[in-house]
């Protein structure tokens, strides 16, 4: 009798849970309230390259271990863990931590969609998700090969996905992701041009960087340090366009591929608002590190150590692997200036002479040297 009563109670709870999930808007399923708190506070979202233990504020779930798959809040004073890796992957079912390689967030409130890539493939017995795929919190999965279809040599192999940023009106981006959620991964592989149709219909674009150089390092059509347009199949910015001429960025002409590890900007498609991180440090002037948040052409630099300072990690740098500035409008949001001003007040931001696309916040110290275009 007792077992029958327990089973009936379980069935009732399960029915209520199913009704609640069905009632939720697609973009809100699986996203925690902590993420909404981060979005309301403003600032940007990021992830680190490595796991670490916070010796500062303890996350709301009580776990002091911060994963390289967790989404963190930057430009605020309280160092929030906005979403755990499991939260981002919840729509796909129970998953191990797969890391976080690229991220962007669009929308607000119940209409929020997080789209991202992971460091690792999902176990095949759990889900057919690859590390180069573009995943979304509403269940959309766009394969890497589909993202790269417009580029000169259609590739059968997965080149990875290191950075992503949506361009266009945020409402149109949300509409795109609603449409994209209607198709399974196999649908995109069978008809990759449907992606181009959806981008065109909604008048949006996805700017990305890859993990690999194609078709080969000896004869590259693009570098993993270049920023690419999925919609047009063009190079938005080469590695050499993102960094000043004093930095030997670009292969083969200038010498080194600094790799584009993360990118964000406003939604207008204007490259002057680009913020990036790279995988290689540079010690001579102009100086920057692989954990730093950089303005295009090094117009300004936010110290990677400053980004994670309130977590009080035992060692730095921790790397900067994914980056998003959620903005409600296509143009440059006031939240960017506010975030940078707060970082400056915390001692985490150094401004270079010649910065053009942002205003210097209080406490920004001028650095030696000048940026070049």
* 365 pLDDT above the threshold of 80: no
253 against 185, higher pLDDT: 185
Instruction: Cite the beta strand spans of the chain per DSSP E.
Output: 44-47, 52-53, 65-66, 71-74, 81-83, 102-106, 113-117, 134-136, 141-142, 163-167, 205-209, 227-229, 235-237, 260-264, 275-278, 293-295, 300-302, 322-324, 349-353, 365-370
Q: For residues 28 and 25, give the distance between their C-alpha atoms in angstroms, rounded to a whole number.
A: 5
Q: For residues 216 and 222, give the distance between their C-alpha atoms in angstroms, rounded to a whole number.
A: 9
At 259 the pLDDT is 93
At 358 the pLDDT is 32
Overall pTM > 0.75: yes
pLDDT category at 330 given cuts 50, 70, 90 is low
For tokens 């973009």, the residue is 27
* 30 pLDDT above the threshold of 90: no
The neighbouring-strand residues paired with 237 are 227
* 177 pLDDT above the threshold of 50: yes
pLDDT category at 306 given cuts 50, 70, 90 is confident
- Please state the rounded mean pLDDT for residues 329-342: 57
Please, what is the average pLDDT of the chain?
A: 81
Q: Give the SS3 label for residue 166.
A: strand
Q: What digits encode the pLDDT tens for the residues 202-216?
A: 999 999 999 988 877
* 361 pLDDT above the threshold of 60: no
At 220 the pLDDT is 79
For tokens 């590739």, the residue is 155
Polymer length of the chain: 373
- Name residues whose C-beta falls within 8 Å of residue 354's C-beta, 6 or more positions apart in sequence: 299, 370, 371
Q: What digits encode the pLDDT tens for the residues 282-295?
A: 988 888 989 999 99
Q: What digits encode the pLDDT tens for the residues 39-65?
A: 888 778 999 999 999 999 899 999 999
pLDDT category at 302 given cuts 50, 70, 90 is confident
* 261 pLDDT above the threshold of 70: yes
Q: For residues 149 and 158, give the distance between their C-alpha atoms in angstroms, rounded to a whole number.
A: 12
DSSP 102-139: EEEEE--GGG-EEEEE-SSPPPTTT----TTSEEETTS
At 263 the pLDDT is 96
pLDDT category at 239 given cuts 50, 70, 90 is very high
Q: What digits encode the pLDDT tens for the residues 123-165?
A: 999 999 999 999 999 999 999 999 999 986 555 678 999 999 9
At 338 the pLDDT is 57
């Amino acid at each position: 009798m007792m077992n029958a009563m327990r089973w009936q109670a379980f069935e009732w709870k399960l029915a209520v849970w199913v009704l609640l999930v069905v009632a939720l808007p697609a973009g809100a399923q699986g996203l925690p309230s902590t993420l909404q708190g981060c979005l309301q506070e403003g600032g940007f979202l990021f992830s680190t390259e490595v796991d670490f233990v916070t010796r500062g504020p303890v996350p709301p779930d009580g776990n002091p271990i911060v994963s390289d798959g967790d989404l963190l809040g930057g430009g605020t004073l309280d160092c929030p863990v906005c979403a755990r890796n499991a939260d981002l992957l919840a729509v796909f079912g129970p998953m191990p931590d797969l890391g976080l390689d690229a991220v962007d967030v669009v929308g607000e409130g119940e209409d929020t969609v997080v789209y991202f890539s992971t460091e690792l493939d999902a176990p095949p017995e759990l889900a057919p998700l690859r590390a180069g795929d573009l995943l979304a919190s509403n269940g959309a999965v766009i394969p890497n090969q589909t993202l790269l279809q417009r580029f000169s040599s259609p590739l059968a192999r997965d080149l990875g996905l290191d950075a992503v940023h949506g361009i266009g009106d945020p409402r149109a981006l949300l509409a795109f992701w609603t449409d994209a959620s209607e198709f399974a991964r196999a649908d995109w592989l069978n008809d990759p041009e449907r992606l181009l149709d959806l981008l065109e219909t909604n008048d949006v674009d996805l700017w990305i960087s890859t993990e690999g150089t194609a078709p080969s390092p000896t004869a590259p059509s693009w570098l993993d340090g270049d920023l690419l347009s999925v919609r047009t199949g063009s190079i938005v910015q080469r590695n050499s366009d993102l960094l000043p001429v004093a930095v030997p960025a670009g292969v083969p002409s200038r010498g080194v591929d600094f790799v584009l590890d993360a990118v964000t900007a406003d939604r207008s498609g204007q490259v002057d608002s680009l913020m990036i991180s790279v995988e290689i440090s540079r010690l001579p002037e102009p100086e920057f590190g692989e954990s730093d948040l950089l303005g295009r052409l090094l117009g300004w630099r936010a110290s990677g150590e400053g980004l994670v300072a309130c977590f009080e990690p035992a060692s730095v740098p921790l790397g900067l692997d994914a980056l998003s500035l959620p903005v409600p409008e296509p143009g440059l949001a006031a939240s960017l200036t506010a975030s940078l001003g707060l970082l400056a007040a915390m001692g985490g931001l150094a401004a270079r002479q010649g910065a053009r696309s942002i205003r210097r916040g209080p406490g920004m110290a001028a650095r030696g040297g000048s940026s070049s275009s």
